[in-house]
Chain A
Amino acid sequence: MALDIIIAMKHELMIGFIIFLLLFWKIRSDEPNPSAVISVVNGLLLATVLLFLFESKDVVLFNQMFKGNELILFQKSILSLGMLIVSAISFTWLKNNKNFLEFYILLLSSLLGMFFMISSANMLMFYLGLELSTIPLAAAANFDLQKRKSSEAAMKLILSSAFSSALLLLGISFIYGSTGTLLFSELSVSLVENPLSIFAFILIFAGFAFKISAVPFHLWTADVYEGSPIPVTAFLSVVSKAAVTFVFVSVLFQVFQSLALTWTIAISLMAFLSIVIGNLFALRQQNIKRFLAFSAIAQVGYILVAMLGFAEVAQSSIFFFLIIYLFSNLAAFGVIGIVSEHTGNENIDDYKGFYQTNKFLSWVLAIGLFALAGVPPTAGFFGKFFLLMAGASKGNYILIIIAALNMVVSFYYYLRIVKVIFMDGNENPIAKTEAGLIPNLALLLCMAGLIVLSVYGPIYEYIVHIVQPY
């Protein structure tokens, strides 16, 4: 039993260990050497990522609260990878920040919450995990203590999170009222289509939609992204979103399968709105963080399209897409973070003539944007089109056509930035920025990930293989 717990919870134990290590560091009297601490944390995170290579077992622990299997382990490793890259690209920012220990403690706590959320087999456990993952993020959003916008972002995040949590909790209590159980495994059998459970589902659904910022629950996104420090924005837009999406998909297909008729309509509508509104707002943004916020909303729309397909293909294509999304979005955020750290510039127009001075960073940003746009030879192409194919597996051709044509709109605004970087002339472009070794390695890792995932098919096959039984 103890061995089972260790096998199933190795990620949680590892992250818990890192958090305690950091706390001990914090209470020591002498100031720690930032570079050393960050390197140790990065090393431990790398070890966490690699944990999925070890044996895995299908287990259900703690009176059916917590479950573990190969898929969940792999998802946790992907989230840890996201955390690792976020930590690596913000190396300089962390090094210069005297509160970097708190930063790590907050983000790692949030990550721990996500792990529990993914592993939950019970609605309450799921709710606990979700709260643990959200509350530290609101504190982290406020990390630039001098900036007013940062506090504003934190306030907006905590209010909207609390609101969506309340909705979720109300939905959960209705579910309990209508079925008498909170276990996922029992809910999938006992949930039937009646007004109460549909109402409960809508509340839970709205809670999820808030967290992944799907239209019409997206209004907090742009402001929070703009105000938060870039590492937090990156974490919020990639790791947090990926974790919620993982749970959303599995809850949708396992627990609410009997309400499929209801959620097909809801999701089609939300997918359509997210794609169109995300795209239209992204067109006009001047701040590059706000721009990425709206592009992220549009990307969520594509994920929602895939949810309309058959369970297996939907889950594997969404998982595959999220890995690609992680690499591409973090590549973009990495470059933006490095530039913002050195120059303070966050507007698209500041990037005019960026290629004249920063060739490597320009290419990284461009390739990241191409991957977001879904252009080969980056893996973004496969990610995007597999989502659409998954969505088309049950029909829905009108929505697929709209989504495919909207890719052209999204292509415009991604290319606009590429145009600014490569083609627009500028007398005094952003000065040459030296990112340092660790951020550069992280950016290279993102590039390599984007190429390898497209050229090397077996990764996708592995995902299909681990998704299949669940």
Chain B
Amino acid sequence: MNLLILLIIPFLTAIGILAVNGLKQVRTVAFIGSMIQLCLSFYLLNQYHIAKELGDASLMLFEQNYPWFPSMGVYFHIGVDGISISMIILTALVVVAGVLVSYGMEQLHKEFFFLLILLSLGAYGFFISLDLFTLFFFLEVAVIPKFLLIGIWGSGPKERSAMKLALMLMGGSAMIFIGLIGVYFYSNEVGARTFDMLALAKNGISKEAQLFFFPFAFAGFGAFTALFPFHTWVPDGHSSAPTAASMFLAGISMKLGGYGCLRVATFLMPQAAEYYAPVIILLATIAIIYGAFATMMQTDLKYINAYSSISHCGFVLLGIGMLTKVSITGAVMQMVSHGLMTALFFAAIGMMYSRTHTRLVAQLGGLLKVMPFISSIFIIAGLCSLGLPGFSGFVSEMTIFVGAWQNPNIWYRLATILSCASIVVTAVYILRAAGSSVMGPIKDNHFLKLEDALWNEKLAAVVLLSGIVVIGIAPFLLTDLLSPGTDIIMEQLLK
């Protein structure tokens, strides 16, 4: 399959959105475009399995390489493996759901859907890039749409949140760039300098350079995925954003960082990753525990989900920091699982907010009686978040813990135990939030007149939920897909 089509479809969708007029036409174009993209991503999965069955043992499939700025060593080099495909499918699912929940967007709808699709274009480009500069390009393409989406359509202190998010992410980007320069100038290669990830991995980088530049690259990508102490944009950004943008931010955008930590920092600088593993684990553990306790104190549903995202993304970093095959597999599973789960959560919160006009737990109550569908998906998302078996959250967190425990170091095990224990805290805040906002007596009489989910909202929820359940009951679908990709990373680490 030609991977370029994954970029062409969102591009054409964006152009199409500009060409048509009126909310109905705009949203239809956006929906059709994102549905085609979803079908394509499953087709890509299928093609991948066919190629693997035919015995294609190459590291990356469907590779294409075009010169872009060849004298600077910048090539447009794309290709996928199992890890990227899982991320692409995650993106496609969240985009479809995001477009569906924004069906009622009245204000400046054309710009809204255009930016939404542009954001997804950045994410697709990021996941298929094999050239570091191309990857960096797409990472930054996604920053401006986020800023505008939050700043224009957001709620609360939206300008401040948008600025905070954009600046912190730009700070992350600047650090990533420093890491990239290090990789570029210090790789042990012969001939022209290159940004090609596979070539860089093969040539290797001297250890001193790795030790100097790894923290920049890892912390830079870490800022995208809420690495402590670079997490402070998460609560503000997520809670001020409009529903679809929150879903994108938590569901896709934070995964760009996790993917980068794994694919760029750890894969290209394995010795430094080993050297800095204790620091990563320490920070991840702090994020997990701090995130969980901070969530307990929140009263706003969006803040609850945002802080719990910090905690959950801590698991991703914990899995990467443990550097075993199982834990890294678990980290990628957690990215997919958290992406779907948190998008579902934000979708449910958005639906409740658009009807009740409040997100405060104390003011909500008894919603299960008036809007059973929305309340049910809210509870399901919560249960998935606390790791109930049968949903994706359980298998991915379980895999991380198993992988982490394989590490015999006593301090690592302590970190694992502490992280495990945080699940209890998760249960407390999830059950408390769910209990008082959707169950119990109806606190406000005008809630009685509210309607349940419309067809588009139901479809959005079903799309995300099906992903969660499929991974929950058949995790081997995902682990088999990830296995070759994680093998390559392990090979690098053991070299």
Contact = CB atoms under 8 A, between A and B. Distances in A.
Bind each other: yes
Interface of A: 313, 316, 370, 375-377, 381-382, 385-386, 388-389, 392-393, 397, 400-401, 404-405, 407-408, 411-412, 415-416, 418-419, 422-424, 457, 460-461, 464
A392 B185 contact: yes
Contacts of A386: 69, 72
A423 B137 CA distance: 26
A349 B5 CA distance: 43
A231 to B, nearest CB: 29
Contacts of A393: 185
B71 A464 contact: yes
B302 interface: no
A73 B120 CA distance: 42
Nearest to B174: A404
Contacts of A392: 181, 185
Contacts of A408: 167, 170-171, 174
7 contacts: A389-B72, A404-B178, A408-B174, A424-B159, A457-B67, A457-B70, A461-B70
Interface residues of B, number: 34
Given A377-B141, A422-B151, A405 B174 contact: yes
A253 B468 CA distance: 61
B158 interface: yes
Given A381-B137, A381-B140, A412-B167, A423 B162 contact: yes
Contacts of B151: 419, 422-423
B148 interface: yes
B485 to A, nearest CB: 27
Contacts of B158: 423
**Dominant SS among interface residues on chain A:** helix
A408 B176 CA distance: 13
A100 to B, nearest CB: 37
Contacts of A411: 166-167, 170
Interface string B29-64: 000000000000000000000000000000000000
A400 B178 contact: yes
Contacts of A457: 67-70, 74
Nearest to B138: A376
Contacts of A385: 133, 177
Interface in B153-208: 158-159, 162-163, 166-167, 170-171, 174-175, 177-178, 181-182, 184-185
B152 interface: yes
Contacts of A388: 177, 181
B143 interface: yes
A376 B141 contact: yes
A404 B171 CA distance: 9
A376 B68 contact: no
A146 B226 CA distance: 56
Question: Top 5 closest A-B pairs, CB basis?
Answer: A404-B174, A423-B151, A457-B68, A464-B71, A411-B170
Given A408-B174, A418-B147, A423-B162, 11 more contacts: A316-B71, A375-B140, A375-B143, A404-B177, A407-B174, A415-B167, A422-B151, A423-B152, A423-B158, A423-B159, A460-B72
Contacts of A389: 72, 181, 184
Interface string B397-430: 0000000000000000000000000000000000
Contacts of B4: none
B474 interface: no
A461 B69 contact: yes
A370 B144 contact: yes
Residue of A386, A388, A418, A424 with most partner-chain B CB within 10 A: A418
Interface in B340-387: none
B292 to A, nearest CB: 30
Contacts of B167: 408, 411-412, 415
A316 to B, nearest CB: 8
Contact of A415 (B138, B147, B182): B147
Given A389-B181, A404-B177, A415 B166 contact: yes
A381 B69 CA distance: 13
Nearest to B69: A457
A408 B143 CA distance: 12
Given A404-B174, A405-B174, A408-B167, A460 B162 contact: no
Interface string B302-324: 00000000000000000000000
Nearest to A410: B170
Contacts of B178: 397, 400-401, 404
A460 B144 contact: no
A469 B133 CA distance: 27
Contacts of B133: 385
A404 B144 CA distance: 18
Nearest to B154: A423
A265 to B, nearest CB: 21
Contacts of B182: 397
Nearest to B148: A422
Contacts of B159: 419, 423-424
Contacts of A377: 137, 141
A415 B163 contact: yes
B233 to A, nearest CB: 13
Interface string B325-338: 00000000000000
A390 B158 CA distance: 38
Contacts of B174: 404-405, 407-408
Nearest to A424: B159
B171 A376 contact: no
